[in-house]
Amino acid sequence: MKDDVSSSVVAVPAAILWAADNDFTLAVSNQKQLVTQTGSYENLLPSMDLQVEMARNLIGRVSFSRTIARPDFGNLFSASLVSIPSRATAVGGFAGGSTGNANLSPLISDNVDVSLEWYYKLSSFVSFGFFDKRVQNFVGTGQTSQNMFGLRDTASGASGTRSGAAKAAQQGIGADISDVNLFTMTALLQRTGNTAAATQQFQANRFNGALTQSFIDDTLKAVDIIANGSDLLYQFSVTRPINNREGKIHWFEAAFQHFSAIPASAWRRPTPMSAATWAWMLALIPASINSRCWG
């Protein structure tokens, strides 16, 4: 049985500030948080090798084994990261995040090897083999919707929130629900604390259905919208590594080896040769010729 414990110290995000129409900023606190994840697994790893002489000089072999490998170490980290939204969630934006997964299962591989070998003479053979490998628990990416670090959404447009009141007020005066309009009205509500006063100020700076750029610029410079208790908790689209893929490979193999010896002879002159000459001649005589080919 194997236990994995992954711990990371992370800086805790304090809030996601809404600084302008589609501009969000992550404010990080001085607080550090120890994030710990645990996981465990238990695997039986059998291995078997079987050899059978099916006929004279004809050998069959079968092997089976199960092996495991741990996932990439980077996938096991427990640290969590927050990604700020690209626009207000009330108009289609979303916040993302990522985290590791210490509870990943190991990769499990089942391996089968089958071969048939014919030894038709000493040191010579023909063989045919088949190999199959099937792997479970390859690591892919999963996605869940969850809150992270208790962060709240200032731009949800939900009923009972400032952005929700801003959205309703804009609908009441026939204004478009755009990033700019939603931020500006919500900022006015935060500053005045009164829907009627905010709507009146919004209307006073709106010409031909659009706010003046100078009013927009002045408002976004003056106000950052900070979450309060009425704002909904963010639902982050969090990605994490999960075991969700499988794979397999297999192949055939044919091989042969042929070994033969070729007798050698030397021609001898009628006249005697010295011992050194005989040694030189013998060194030139091949003892055998080998050939080997794999397919």
Q: Which amino acid is at 195?
A: T
Is 288 a residue whose pLDDT tops 50?
no
Confidence of residue 291 (pLDDT cuts 50, 70, 90): very low
- Cβ contacts of residue 233 below 8 Å, gap of 6+? 147, 150, 151, 152, 153
Instruction: Single out the residue of 244, 3, 248 nearest to residue 137, CA to CA.
Output: 244
Give the pLDDT confidence of 101-152 residue by residue, as tens digits: 988 999 999 999 999 999 998 889 999 999 999 999 999 999 999 999 999 9
Six-digit token string for 236:
């982050």
Is 243 a residue whose pLDDT tops 90?
yes
Where are the alpha helices (H) located in the chain, listed in sequence order? 162-173, 179-192, 195-204, 213-222, 275-283
Residue ranges covered by each domain of the chain: 155-233
Is 277 a residue whose pLDDT tops 90?
no
Looking up tokens 């695997």 gives: 43
Is 217 a residue whose pLDDT tops 70?
yes
Q: What's the pTM?
A: 0.71
The lowest-confidence range among 49-63, 119-133, 270-284 is 270-284
CA 136/CA 176 separation, integer angstroms:
52
Q: Crossing angle for the helix pair 179-192 and 195-204, nearest 10 degrees?
A: 130
Is 264 a residue whose pLDDT tops 70?
no
CA 244/CA 211 separation, integer angstroms:
50
Instruction: Single out the residue of 84, 96, 99, 83 nearest to residue 35, CA to CA.
Output: 99
Cross-strand bridge partners of residue 52: 60
